[in-house]
Amino acid sequence: MIPLWPFSNKQGRNTFSNRLSSRTVLLSWIVTGSLLVVSVAVGWVILRGQVFALELTARNEGERFLNYLVVSLRAVREAEGWKGKPPPMEKMEKEKEPVPDFEGDVRILEGIVKNNERLQNRVAGMGLYSVSGKSIVRFGSAPPDFTLPSFENPPMDFPFRHYLFNPKNRSLVILQPLVDFRRVRFPSHEFPNQFLYLELYNSKYWVRRTAFYLLFFVLEGLLLLGLWVGRKLVLRNWEYRMKLREQEELVLLGSASRALAHEFKNPLSAIALQADLLLRVCPDRVYDEVAVIREEVNRMRRMVDRIGDLIREPLGRPEVWNVQETIEGLVKKRFPQVEMKIEKAVWGKKVRMDPDRFRSALENLLQNACESDSNPAEPVEVQVTSAGKRIVIEVRDRGEGLSGKELDRLFDPFYTTKTKGFGIGLFLSKRFTEAVGGTLEIEPRDGGGTIARITLPEAEDAGSDR
C-alpha cells in the first residue's frame, strides 16, 4: 500500500535524493513554483477586481452624499434670495457680477453638518483650498495645506473630480474643483480656481477591503501548504514505487545469482584443487603467479558461498584494514597499468569494511575505467586523499563519458551501457559502500571522461556509526 502522508517513514524528511534524481526533484520544484505563481497571479487579479468594485461603490456613495450637500446648500441660498442658475462667466465679467461666494458656501455647509448629528457622524472634515493648496476655510480633519493632484489627464466620467482613500482616518476624500460650486459639473474648457475638500468616514469600505486582503493571504497560504504537501506526496509515492521496482529486481537478481552460484561451485573447486597441486610442484619463478590464482579463486569461492548475502546483507563481515596497503596491493596485482597517487595524509589510516566487498567495489570501478579509457597518453588514475575523518578514493579516466540520462540510471540494477555485462556491478558497489556509512558517486570529468568517487569513514567513525 502506498503511504499517503509524506513523512510516514522513520528515515527523516530529506530522503528524496537517495532514490530520486536531482533532475526529478528540480522538476517537481519547477512545477510547484509555476502553479504557485499562476495561483498568486489569478488570486491577485481577483482581489484587485473586488477592491476596485469596493472603490466604485464608495465613490458612488460619496457622489450621492456630495449631491445631497449641494441640494441642501441650494435650499439655504434660495431661502436667502438666490434664484435660478448663475449666469455664464462671460456674462458675469461683462456685467461685473460678483464671483460666487465659495467661502460662504463652505461655511453654510459647516453649519448644516454641525446642526445634524447624522451628518456629524459621516463628515470627518471639509475645507476650501486655493489652487496653490492653501486652505481658505476649513473645519474637522481637513489639513491646513493640501497637495493637489495633477489635472492634465482628468477622468472621463467626472471631469477633474478626484477620489482619495485615507487609511489613517479610514475615510474617503472627495476633491471637487470649483468654477461655481452650485454647478458640480462644469464644461471642460473652464478651469478651476478653488477646490472643495470633503472627507467622509467610510469604515464599511475599509473593513471589507481588509477582509478581502486577509482572505487572499489565508487562501494563498493554504494553497501554498497544499502544493507543498502535494509535492511531498507525489515524490514520496514516486520514491515508493521505485523502491518496489528495485525490490522486484533484487528478487530477480537473487534468484539469478543463486543459480549462477550453483553452476560456479564445481568449476571453482576444480580450479582451486589444481592450483594447490601446482603450488607443490611448480618452480619458484612462477610460484607467486600461481599463488595469486589460488588467492583469487578462494575469494571467488567465498563470494559464491555468500552470494545470497551480497543481495540481502551488503554489510558483510566488516574488518579494520590499512587503506594504503590494500589499494596498492590490489592495483599492482590486477591493474599494473593504472597510476596511483596516495597522499601522505592517508598513510597509516584504516577503515572498517568487509575487505572482499571493498576489493569487489574498487575492482569494478577500475575495470569500467580501463575498458572505457580511449586515451593511452593519459592512463587511468587512482587518487586517494583524506578529507577530515573520511577517506576519498577517486578513479579517473578519459573515456567517452556519460550523458545525464545515463548518470541518472547508472546505479539501477541490470542497467548497463556496455555490450557485454549484466549491469549489477555498480549497483552492488554502491550498496557495499553505503552499508558502512560511505558513498559512491560518478560524475563527468572536465576535459572528457568520468570520475568515480568512493568516500569511506575512518575506522573510528565507522565503528561509532554501527
160-180 mean pLDDT: 81
Residue 17, SS3 per DSSP: helix
How much is the pLDDT for 394?
Answer: 93
Q: What angle do CA 306, 308, 312 make, to 5 degrees?
A: 120
Contact status, residue 161 vs residue 177, Cβ threshold 8 Å: yes
How much is the pLDDT for 279?
Answer: 83
Residue 127 host element (H or E):
strand 123-130
Domain ranges of the chain: 316-465
How much is the pLDDT for 164?
Answer: 87
Count of other CB atoms within 10 angstroms of residue 348: 10
Q: Considering the chain, what percentage of its residues have pLDDT values greater than 90?
A: 13
How much is the pLDDT for 352?
Answer: 92
How much is the pLDDT for 75?
Answer: 83
User: What is 159-217 written as a DSSP string?
Assistant: TT-EEEEETTTTEEEEEEEES-TT-SS--TTSPPSEEEEEEEE-HHHHHHHHHHHHHHH
Q: Compute the mean pLDDT over every residue in the chain, rounded to the nearest whole number.
A: 78
List pLDDT tens digits, range 413-460. Answer: 667 777 666 667 788 888 889 889 999 998 888 888 889 999 999 887
How do beta strands 319-322 and 339-342 pair? unpaired
How much is the pLDDT for 46?
Answer: 92
How much is the pLDDT for 218?
Answer: 93
How much is the pLDDT for 269?
Answer: 82
Sign of CA dihedral 408, 414, 418, 421: positive
Residue 353, SS3 per DSSP: strand
76-96 mean pLDDT: 57
275-286 mean pLDDT: 83
265-278 mean pLDDT: 83
Place 133 in a pLDDT band, splitting at 50, 70 and 90. confident
- pLDDT at residue 29 greater than cutoff 50: yes
Q: Considering the chain, what percentage of its residues have pLDDT values greater than 70?
A: 78
Cell, residue 459: 575506522
Cell 481588509 locates to 210
How much is the pLDDT for 81?
Answer: 67
84-97 mean pLDDT: 48
List pLDDT tens digits, range 236-256. Answer: 888 888 888 777 776 776 677
List pLDDT tens digits, range 104-127. Answer: 888 888 888 888 888 888 898 998
How much is the pLDDT for 463?
Answer: 41
How do beta strands 135-140 and 123-130 pair? antiparallel
203-212, 295-304, 436-445: segment of lowest average pLDDT: 295-304
Helix axes 355-372, 425-435, angle to 10 degrees: 140
136-140, 299-303, 377-381, 399-403: segment of lowest average pLDDT: 299-303
- pLDDT at residue 219 greater than cutoff 60: yes
How much is the pLDDT for 6?
Answer: 39
249-275 mean pLDDT: 76
How much is the pLDDT for 217?
Answer: 93
Question: 189: Cβ–Cβ under 8 A, 6 or more apart, which residues?
Answer: none
Contact status, residue 209 vs residue 216, Cβ threshold 8 Å: no
**Amino acid symbol at 317:** R
- pLDDT at residue 215 greater than cutoff 80: yes
CATH 1.10.3080.10 matches 316-465: no
How much is the pLDDT for 189?
Answer: 56
Contact status, residue 368 vs residue 329, Cβ threshold 8 Å: no
Stronger pLDDT, 374 or 215, i.e. the higher one: 215
Cα(220)–Cα(371) distance, integer angstroms: 55
